[in-house]
Each structure stands twice: as C-alpha cells, then as structure tokens.
Structure 1
Amino acid sequence: MYIRRILMLTVIIGLIFMGSFAFYVYKVMFMSNTSFEADYVHLYIKSETKFNQFIEQVDPFLLNIDDFSVLAKRKKYALRPGKYRINKGMSNNDIINSLRSNNITVNVIYNNVSNLNDLASNISNQIEADSTSFVNSFKTDFFIEKGFDEKNILSMYIPNSYNFFWNTSAEKFNQRMFEEYTKFWQRNNRVEKANKIGLSKIEVMILASIVYEESKGNIELPKIAGVYLNRLKSNWKLQADPTVKFAAYQQDEFKNTVIRRVLNKHLKIDSPYNTYKYSGLPPGIISMPSIQAIDAVLNSEKHNYYFFAADPSNPGYHSFSRTLSEHKRNARKFHKYLNSKGIKK
C-alpha cells in the first residue's frame, strides 16, 4: 500500500512537471509576446548587427525578451539585415520565422534633385546605406566604365519609384539604377529617337533638365524642347535662363540667394553652364528632369520658334516667337510685370 502511494505520488509529480514544462514550451513558442498597441511595427536590422544588439533593439516591442532570446538561440536564428514587420499578437515562433524569410522591400522615390550630394542625402534617408557611402561611390570607376563622368553622373538616375531591400548598399543601388537606365532607354524607341535628333542619351538628359526647369508643367514641354533643338541645329547659343541660375548658384556670391530675375551680372558669369556665354549644351544636367521632360525632347514639337518668354497674362505659360524683334516685345511685357511686382533680382 505504501509503495503504491509512492508510485502514484511520483506519477502525479511527473505529470505536473511534464505539464509545467509543456506549458513553458507553449508559452515560449506559441503565446503572443508583443507589447505594442499598433497593428504592427517595422524592425530595421542593420548589416553587421550583433545578436545582443538585436535583442536590445527588439526588446521594446516584446513582453518577455528572455523567452524570445531563449527560443532564438534554440532555433539557431542567424541575423539577416533588412526591414521586417512584426504584427500585433505574434508569438516568438512567428516572429523568428518572419525574421528568417520576410525581408520586405521599401519604395525608394527620388525626383527634382539638382546635384549628387542631394541625391546621396535623399536615398540614404530611404535605405540603410548612408550619404557618405553614396558620395564615395560616385568617385569609383563604375561610372567611368559606363560612359559617365563626374559632371554627368546624375544623368544615369531616372526619377521614379523603385522597390529595394532596405539593406541595399550604395554599390548595389548604383548597379540597379544603371540597369533601370538601360531599360528606360530601350523602351519606346528612345535610343532611335535620340539618334534621329543627333543627341546622345546624356545630351538628351542635359537638354531635358533645361526644358524641365523652364516649365514644370507638362503641356508646354515639347514646344520648349522644339525651341532649343531649333537653336542647336542653327548653331545658336541656347541662352537658357535656368543654366545661368545654375551657374550663379555655384558662385559664393550667389550661393545662398534666390534668383527670381536674371540680370546682366548673372549673364557675365564665366561658367561652361552659362549658355548665354558658351555655345552648345552645358557639361551636365542642371537638375533631375522628369520622364515627361525627357520624352518631350525625344518627341519635341516641330515648329519655327526660336524664342520664348514668360507670359504675364497667363502665369506658368510662355509666349513663343520666331524673330528677335517679336521676342523683345514679349520680354518687355514680362519685365514690366516683374517691375510692377517689385521683383528686382
């Protein structure tokens, strides 16, 4: 009788122990362990993050970090850099499985960028690579091998939205952008159209940047492009105000100013970007042109206009003319309008 009681007690204790262990395993693996109220949170794991750093990073989102750490080690979870989503109510097992296989992409967007430093800053705010790594990448032979130089590298970046893994490096980003650049030019007969107007791909981008700065609206872009192409074909200087502004902003005297009116002092600036002073296209783009501006150059309106001036009676639009005398009349109207608004510089 005594032995039976001992055996029963042993069995009961064993069952209690097994039940407790089973509950512990269930709790560690399958019970919800999230502590946040939102539907989900995003976790960004940087490259070369150590396990203890990762645990500190995920701790604020979990009820019991010790249970999570134990299971992660038991499952031999290897850190993978990237952007991950943790949903409210997830168990430790769910979280670890998600961190193993669900590196989600980010939608990288850039447009209207005027220089490489701005591009580096813009992109580094959207993926892991920092601005310094981008600036350094612009100095590598990668761009020279692709036919670019330091003045026209920006021409390779077609403004759009692109899906990337968050942990993309600057080098991988640039490689992908060259692939997108190549695809862009292969579509819609763009290369053939560039050849037809006698411009290289980079030259099209440069002219498109000027056209874009002249009119951010899309309606007049092909017409403005036609004016500049007419001037190029006739070996006339472009005399484009946006290039003068770009040249001025490179000078210390004008760097921190806003030029609303191009004056004689601006026209005298000695810069290859000053198309009042130098013939042909400037050596690089003056801003990142929109796709609409690029296509406006490739599909420009055919006409006999060689001049245009802002139309004060129709803000955002221009008056086009065939002769210099007609252009001067239009320009005087615009200058009179600027004077009436007190815009002197």
Structure 2
Amino acid sequence: MLAAIGIEEVIVADGRRSALRWGLGGLCLLLLATAAVAAWGWVHYQRFADAPAASGETAASLRIERGDGFATVLGRLREAGIDAGHDIEWRLLARHMDAAGRLKVGEYALDPGLTPRELLQRMRDGRVVQYRVTLVEGWNFRQVRAALAAADPLEHETTGMDDAALMAALDQPGQHPEGRFLPETYLYQRGDSDLDVLRRAHAAMVQALAQAWDSRAADVPLKTADDALVLASIVEKETGQAHERPQIAGVFARRLRQGMLLQTDPTVIYGMGSSYDGNIRRRDLTTDTPYNTYTRAGLPPTPIAMPGRAALQAAVNPAPGDALYFVSRNDGSHIFSATYAEHRAAVDCYQRKRCPATPAATPAQAPEGALRR
C-alpha cells in the first residue's frame, strides 16, 4: 500500500516536471518569437524613418498653422502626398525625436527624397521655407515699393498707403522715406509683410549710417549723419564703377569746402519727378527746384536714392586729391580734372567725340560738376 502511494507520487512529480519543461520551452519559443517580431519591427521602423517619405509626387510645401496638433499635421502630410509608414510609426518617431509637441508654425518644403526623420527635424527646428527680395543700390523709394509689391508670397500691408502713412506705420512719422532703407537682399517667410521687410531695412540703414558716421574723416565737410546720407546717395547715383566711389565723393567734398555748386545731374532728375522722360535739357538745369544743384548751393534737402554701405563709407572718407570735375567715358568710368579747362577738353573728347588728333593732347583727367556729363 505504501509502495503504491510512492509510485503514484513519483509519477505525478515526473508529470509536473515534464509539464514545466514544456511550459518553459513554450515560453522560450514565445519570447524568441516576440524578439524576432520586435527585431523585424525595429528594422522596419528604421527603414521607415530613413527612407523617402513619399512614393510619388507631393505638394511643394506644407504649412503648420498656430494651434495645429500632431494628428492635424500628420493628416496634412497625407493630403500632401506623404504616404510612407503607418501613423503609429510617425508618432513613435516624433516621440523618439522629441518632436511631437514641438513642431513650429511655418511653411516647410517637401523636397523629393526627404525622409520622415529629416522632415520631422525640419519642423521641430523651425527650418521654414525662406524667400528673398533684393533692394538694389541706387534705387529710389518708388522702386523699392514696386519691388515689394511684386514679391510673392509677401503680405502687402502698405497697399493704399502714401509714403507719409507708411513711415508712420514704421514708427517714423514725418521722416522722408528716400534713402532710409539699406539696399541688401532680405529673407522672409510666408506670413511676413512688406512692413516687416521695410522695418528691417530701415533698422539696417540706421545701423550702417551710424557706423559710417563714427568712422568719418576729421575734415569731412558734413555737419550731420543725415548730410552724409544725402551725399552718399548722390555718390551712389554718380558711380558706374565701384572703385570710383571715393574719388567721386572727393570731388563733391572739395566743392562743398570751396562753396562751389555741386552741379550733379541725378539731383536735377530727382527734382523733376515724373516729368523726367530720360533726357535732361538745358532748361531743366535752369528750372529751380529744391533738388536742382545747378541753381542751389549745398546738398539737396533729402537723399535721392538708397546708398549702399560702400557709398556711405566713401561719403565720410572721400579720397584726397585736387579734382573738381568729372565726366563719363561712356563705359561706366570717369575722367577726373582739376581745372575747368581740362574738364572742357574732356567733355569735348568723351561726350562730343571731338578728341585732339595727337594722343599727347588727350586730357588725362576729368569728372562732373560745372558741366554736365
């Protein structure tokens, strides 16, 4: 009886051990299967993260608006043609990159071949599409406004504003706009306005003018930084070749010191306004306006264009010399002269095509001042 009970206990124990072995074996198989599935999922996830986000054509860009959640952004990505991965993979990737709650408002380019990881990184870091608009040295304010009006997708807040209202909107009431904006290339993004660009260009000119004025030569014949801005605008309009800016500024500086009329055509043209038809005639030189430097001494009342940094520096650091005149060679360069006789000869040679027969008699110098170019 006792022996039978012992045999039964051994059989039960063996059964339990066998069941345990089968259970452990099954668990190992389950763990191996789970690990295999996890490994496959991880490889698939990595491929998703670093493979192209779209299999076909996509929209050029995607916009994230203020208040958009990740689900909304993901929906817009799908609408834009981004078809890679499942939504859960996008969510996992966004969480892994710490991007889910940190997507920045703006417009993002959907470049061909862009991966989900690269796209989320752009949106997390705010690397939005940048547009550019260039304000050109020597432009007047009318040309500046036309360039901004044509810029797309810039918002046009100044449409319908006159110049006075525009300057008031820039917190510069009563300031004449001419010459007050630094000519450079400005970057902007969708949603920015023309006022935003003008505000930056105005601040840049304030800084550039202050830096130029602080570096001015001790004997420069200018009383204020605004005088330097006016002279720089004239230098900008008279310069055809960049290296001549200091020489041209030198001519005007010497004329100012000696009390001579500046007699520069660009100021006359500016004073003519819309009546200028591309030609300047003798009657235009004798018709008095605040900008006619043939009839009025000193500098005109405002700048006549936007000077660049180089023109600002030339105005406050004019080149030394004795030239009081210059005339165009018709190739962008000028001949500079110290006397009126030399200047007349240069005008005859380069403007009237009546050069002396012998090369030795050809004038070696001459600018603009008492005679038109």
Instruction: Indicate the SS of the match to 1:144.
Output: coil
Instruction: Indicate the SS of the match to 1:184.
Output: helix
Paired residues of 2:103 and 2:126 also in contact (CA < 8 A): no
User: Aligned residue for 1:138?
Assistant: 166
User: Aligned residue for 1:220?
Assistant: 244
Stretch moving more, 76-85 or 303-312: 76-85
Residues 286-319 of structure 1, C-alpha deviation per residue, up to 9 Å, x if partnerless? Answer: 222232222222221223322222246xx33323
Instruction: Indicate the SS of the match to 1:336.
Output: coil
User: Aligned residue for 1:274?
Assistant: 292
Paired residues of 1:143 and 1:149 also in contact (CA < 8 A): no
1:97–1:220 CA distance, 2 compared to 1 (3 A): closer
Structure 1 residue 62, shift from structure 2 partner: 2.4
Letter of the 1:330 partner, please give it.
A
Paired residues of 1:211 and 1:225 also in contact (CA < 8 A): yes
Gaps (5+ residues) in structure 2? 1-29, 355-373
Paired residues of 1:84 and 1:102 also in contact (CA < 8 A): no
Gaps (5+ residues) in structure 1? 1-10, 339-345
Instruction: Indicate the SS of the match to 1:329.
Output: helix
Distance 1:295 1:83 in 2: 39
User: Higher Cα Rg: structure 1 or 2?
Assistant: 2
Q: Does 2:326 align with 1:304?
A: no
Distance 2:352 2:308 in 1: 31
User: Aligned residue for 1:210?
Assistant: 234
Structure 1 residue 239, shift from structure 2 partner: 1.0
Stretch moving more, 277-286 or 52-61: 52-61
Residues 177-201 of structure 1, C-alpha deviation per residue, up to 9 Å, x if partnerless? Answer: 3443344245466454488432422
Structure 1 residue 267, shift from structure 2 partner: 1.9
Among the aligned pairs, what percent are the same residue? 18
User: Aligned residue for 1:329?
Assistant: 345
Q: Does 2:175 align with 1:149?
A: yes
Paired residues of 2:62 and 2:109 also in contact (CA < 8 A): yes
2:135 aligned to 110, 113, 121, which one?
110
Structure 1 residue 61, shift from structure 2 partner: 4.5
Structure 1 residue 60, shift from structure 2 partner: 4.2
Instruction: Indicate the SS of the match to 2:270.
Output: helix
Which residues in structure 2 correspond to 1:20-59 (within 5 Å)? 30=49, 32=51, 34-35=53-54, 43=61, 45=63, 59=79
User: Aligned residue for 1:320?
Assistant: 336
Letter of the 1:139 partner, please give it.
M
Which residues in structure 2 correspond to 1:1-345 (within 5 Å)? 30=49, 32=51, 34-35=53-54, 43=61, 45=63, 59-63=79-83, 75=100, 80-84=105-109, 86=111, 88-91=113-116, 94-104=118-128, 109-112=134-137, 114-123=139-148, 128-133=153-158, 136=161, 138-140=166-168, 142-144=170-172, 149-150=175-176, 153-161=177-185, 167-187=191-211, 190-193=214-217, 196-248=220-272, 250-251=273-274, 253-254=275-276, 257-259=277-279, 262-311=280-329, 315-337=331-353
Letter of the 1:138 partner, please give it.
L
Structure 1 residue 240, shift from structure 2 partner: 0.4
Instruction: Indicate the SS of the match to 2:336.
Output: strand
Residues 37-59 of structure 1, C-alpha deviation per residue, up to 9 Å, x if partnerless? Answer: 89x99636487798989966984
Structure 1 residue 231, shift from structure 2 partner: 1.8
Distance 2:311 2:136 in 1: 12
Q: How many residues align?
A: 311
Instruction: Indicate the SS of the match to 2:247.
Output: helix
1:224–1:44 CA distance, 2 compared to 1 (3 A): farther
Letter of the 1:122 partner, please give it.
A
Instruction: Indicate the SS of the match to 1:158.
Output: coil
Paired residues of 1:310 and 1:318 also in contact (CA < 8 A): yes
Paired residues of 1:116 and 1:135 also in contact (CA < 8 A): no
CA-atom RMSD in angstroms: 4.8
Letter of the 1:337 partner, please give it.
K
Paired residues of 2:229 and 2:312 also in contact (CA < 8 A): yes
Instruction: Indicate the SS of the match to 2:352.
Output: helix
Q: TM-score, normalised by structure 1?
A: 0.67
Instruction: Indicate the SS of the match to 1:266.
Output: helix
Distance 2:64 2:246 in 1: 45
Structure 1 residue 221, shift from structure 2 partner: 1.8
Distance 1:277 1:57 in 2: 66
Distance 2:260 2:334 in 1: 20
Stretch moving more, 57-66 or 46-55: 46-55
Distance 1:328 1:210 in 2: 22
